[in-house]
Amino acid sequence: MASAPSWDFIAKLVCIGDSGCGKSSLTIRLCEGRFVTHHDVTIGVEFGSRIVPVGPPHSNSNAPSSILPPSDGSISAGLPEPRTKPSTNSPPADTQKHMKLSLWDTAGQETYKSVTRSYFRGASGALLVFDLSRKQTFQHAIDWLNDLRQIAEPDIVVVLVGNKADLAKPEAVDGDAGENKREVTREEAEEWARRNGVLEYVETSAKSGENVEKAFMRVAERIYENIQAGKYDLNDRRSGVKAPSAGGAGSRLVGLTNDKSKASGACC
């Protein structure tokens, strides 16, 4: 029986934003490489995970920045497979590091907002998601960011995500043929990100897979850079990042998990 892949760090990421922006669809796309046309409204939080490479040599390569829909129903290509065991022949500098992203897909409805806020504690990264075809969701982004920064750790890494890019193009297939449903320009979203100290702005499509992997990887890479800079106490769970304990049972995990034991109805 082959040994399970290992990870060097585990980081808690939260997906936040208004209801209906596609947070669950983005998480499912990353974890399972598929698009769900209809998804029940998230109540509280749902969980998923994905092991990704961080730091060199992967970060120095020309790796694809987006997930393409898999033709065989399996998880899509793009990220190299996590290692099955530590390398014994390569020097430490050449050993690829891997991070397990523990994804918390939070409810966007106002009804659950008081519950949702509690999940911000201990997060080291966040995807702040809005719908490119609904400007109101972009206008609410500042409220979500303020809530996040009041509760999460000061160094939390945030990427602003404009989702449903497939509806923001002339060739959009939903609705009238050729209709462009974009209500937020790339320029105003990028300016908002700069003004509010957000790491980057990325436009994604959970439907096509465009830039989904890039959005999550930008957060993961910056968290890794912060680890290298000594910004986290890896023994303190409040930091949102930890390393596996020596010989601990949690040091070996599959690269794609359902995490259904954590919450009923978990989607990925």
Q: How confident is the model at residue 244 (pLDDT cuts 50, 70, 90)?
A: confident
pLDDT given for residue 93 in this prediction: 54
- The model's confidence at residue 32, banded by pLDDT at 50, 70 and 90, is confident
> Using CB atoms within 10 A of its CB, is residue 95 exposed (0-12), middle (13-18) or buried (19+)?
middle
Before 57, cis peptide (omega within 30)?
yes
User: Rounded to whole angstroms, how far apart are CA atoms 87 and 135?
Assistant: 49
Residue 187 CB partners (closer than 8 Å, separation 6+): none
Angle at alpha carbon of residue 202, lines to 217 and 48, rounded to 5°: 45
Q: What is the pLDDT of residue 178?
A: 60
Q: Which two tokens stand for residue 82?
A: 């996590």
Q: How far apart are CA 175 and CA 84, in angstroms?
A: 46
pLDDT, one tens digit per residue, over 72-111 is 344 444 454 555 454 455 445 568 999 999 999 886 555 5
What is the reported pLDDT for 46? 76
Q: Count Cβ atoms below 10 Å from residue 64 Cβ, excluding itself.
A: 13
Q: Beta-carbon neighbour count of residue 171 at 10 Å? A: 9
Bridge partners of 60, per DSSP, are none
Domain ranges of the chain: 9-68+97-243
Q: How many CB atoms lie within 10 A of CB 255?
A: 21
Residue 65 half-sphere exposure, CB side, CA atoms within 13 Å? Answer: 11
Q: What is the pLDDT of residue 153?
A: 85
Does position 19 have pLDDT exceeding 60, yes or no?
A: yes
Q: Is the pLDDT of residue 254 over 70?
A: no
- Pair 125, 220: CB distance under 8 Å: yes
Provide the token pair at 36.
């769900």
pLDDT, average across residues 152-170: 91
Q: What superfamily would CATH give domain 9-68+97-243?
A: P-loop containing nucleotide triphosphate hydrolases (3.40.50.300)
pLDDT score recorded for residue 109: 54
Does the pLDDT of residue 29 top 60, yes or no? yes
pTM: 0.76
pLDDT in tens, 213-237: 999 999 999 999 999 999 988 887 7
Instruction: Write down the pLDDT at residue 76.
Output: 44
Q: What residue has token string 């409805």?
A: 109
Percent of the chain whose pLDDT exceeds 90:
47
What mean pLDDT do residues 172-176 have? 51
SS3 240: coil
How many Å apart are CA 64 and CA 213, to the nearest integer? Answer: 9
- Strand intervals (E) in the chain: 9-16, 45-54, 97-106, 125-131, 157-163, 200-203, 241-242, 256-257
